[in-house]
Amino acid sequence: MASQVAPSNIVVGSIVWVEDPEAAWIDGEVKQIAGEEITIKCKEKTVVAKASNVNPKDPEFPSSGVEDMTRLAYLHEPGVLQNLKCRFDMNDIYTYTANILIAVNPFQRLPHLYANNMMEKYKGAALGELSPHPFAIADSAYRQMITEQISQAILVSGESGAGKTESTKMLMQYLAFMGGKVNNTEERSVEQKVLESNPVLEAFGNAKTVRNNNSSRFGKFVEIQFNEWGRISGAAIRTYLLERSRVCQVSDPERNYHCFYMLCAAPLENSMASEIREDFLLFV
């Protein structure tokens, strides 16, 4: 097997990223290249690494990062992570990669990002014209649906605790804002019913895990139907891959589904809750 050599864009004096067991990636200057081994002087130590574990670093990378990572000189793992960290440090938790939105969980409430004036701001704006935001993705899908008369789909994906549930709420909130219409024949409009269904779904499908206090333990397909005028006419929510094992066993220190704890905390004068609670305790 032929030995690996350093990439042509890595020479002595180059600034590079090298894998680190503690920090994932650290940067440093190349001091020596010997075949597949590269000696790198970092801030606190000197590292000898294989060429496969070294990536070039952009010396002109802006300190504030970039909103769209297709503009990065090097779209590799350390470059992506550096950009996301720079933006996160400035409370910019959203970043584009073309028409893909990357969200970093801020682990705090940022209500100013989701107010009505923000929805008005993104209404009709082209994707990429304003700062990255879930409202921009939702608006783009809504506009394409209206223009092309074709159903659209938005995929929300990520690991546990990444913020999928909250991102889905923001998307639904914007679609309800765009397609909402008060129905005079009912007390609540369709869009209100769709948004108000979230707490119920979370109670019966979300649980506390070691990584997330409100983790969705099921998959959810939300279908929002619009009429020819772009107004919400109906909705359907389908759940799948529910963790049924949680009903009969729980791994310490995790919790079961929220609904069980809500039932146990319900006041005694609530007869329905009391009956369900007794049946539940008998079952357990």
**Residues in the annotated binding site:** 158-165
Q: Which helix (H) or strand (E) element contains residue 31?
A: strand 24-34
Q: What amino acid is encoded at 260 in this protein? A: F
106: nearest Cα among 94, 119, 122: 94
Burial status of residue 18 (CB atoms within 10 A of its CB: 0-12, 13-18, 19 or more): buried
Peptide bond into 253 cis (omega under 30): yes
b or e along 42-60 (b: 16 or more beta carbons within 10 Å of the residue's beta carbon)?
eeeeebebebeebbbbeee
Residue with tokens 């709420």: 169
d(C-alpha 4, C-alpha 105), whole Å: 38
Give 3-state DSSP helix, strand, coil % of the chain, rounded to 5.
Answer: 35, 20, 45
d(C-alpha 131, C-alpha 94), whole Å: 8
Q: How many CB atoms lie within 10 A of CB 96?
A: 21
Residue with tokens 């759940």: 239
Which neighbouring-strand residues pair with 205?
Answer: none
Annotated binding-site members for ATP: 158-165
